């Protein structure tokens, strides 16, 4: 039964090959009814993703994460650096939304986040855990900033990359709703 239906008197026809199909053999599609042979032979170009497309998107996101990781340490405005990083990420995300291919579907968020994190790990932000330990050690011994100032530095240095990533994800994954 390669495309032929056992009931020739059916009034339902396949939208691709125009052969009659019975109610047992039809497949409901967004554009109408299709026979099983036509459904099995057609690849959907919207859902077929090549490894090169994933690699290209990942490479662009790694570059953005690395650039953001080099820029963020220079943004040291108390209590405003998180907002500045968010808007920097928002600006970058608007550009990225035009560049990436949305064939990736639900995987686009995962690829963007991993790319940004890998890129940030190749920047001075990779030293962030060591810097936090050193700030706490100096604050506790009393040789540097107070505990409150040290925790403020740590919170600011942690939230800036998070705000940058949220800013990038806003237009690329969650979409522009304003």
**Kindly report the CA angle at 104 between 69 and 91, in degrees rounded to 5?**
35
Contact 75, 135 (CB under 8 A): no
Per the structure, the complete domain to which residue 141 belongs is given by 51-174
**pLDDT one-digit tens code per residue, 154-167:** 887 888 899 999 99
> Is 84 in the same domain as 136?
yes
Residue 92 has pLDDT above 90, yes or no: yes
CB 68 within 8 A of CB 133: no
Question: What pLDDT shows up at residue 177?
Answer: 47
Please tell me the predicted confidence (pLDDT) of residue 178. Answer: 43
Q: Both 11 and 75 in a single domain?
A: no
Is the same domain home to 127 and 153?
Answer: yes
Helices (H), the chain: 36-41, 51-71, 81-99, 107-121, 128-141, 147-169
Is the pLDDT at 1 greater than 50? The verdict is: no
Tokens of 129: 């855990």
Tallying the residues shown for the chain, one arrives at: 178
Q: What is the pLDDT of residues 20-39, one digit of tens each?
A: 888 777 788 777 788 877 77
């Amino acid at each position: 039964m390669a495309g032929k239906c056992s009931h020739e008197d059916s009034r339902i026809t396949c939208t691709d090959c125009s052969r009659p199909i019975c109610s047992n053999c039809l497949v409901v599609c967004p554009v109408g009814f299709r026979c099983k042979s036509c459904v099995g032979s057609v690849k959907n170009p919207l859902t077929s993703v090549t490894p090169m497309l994933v690699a290209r998107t990942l490479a662009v996101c790694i570059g953005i994460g690395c650039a953001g990781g080099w820029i963020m340490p220079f943004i040291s405005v108390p209590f405003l650096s998180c907002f500045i990083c968010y808007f920097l990420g928002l600006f970058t995300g608007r550009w990225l939304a035009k560049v990436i291919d949305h064939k990736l579907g639900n995987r686009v968020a995962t690829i963007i986040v991993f790319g940004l994190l890998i890129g940030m790990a190749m920047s001075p932000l990779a030293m962030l855990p060591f810097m936090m330990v050193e700030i706490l050690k100096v604050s506790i011994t009393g040789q540097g900033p107070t505990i409150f100032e040290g925790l403020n530095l740590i919170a600011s240095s942690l939230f800036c990359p998070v705000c940058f990533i949220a800013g990038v994800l806003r237009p690329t994954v969650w979409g522009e709703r304003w």
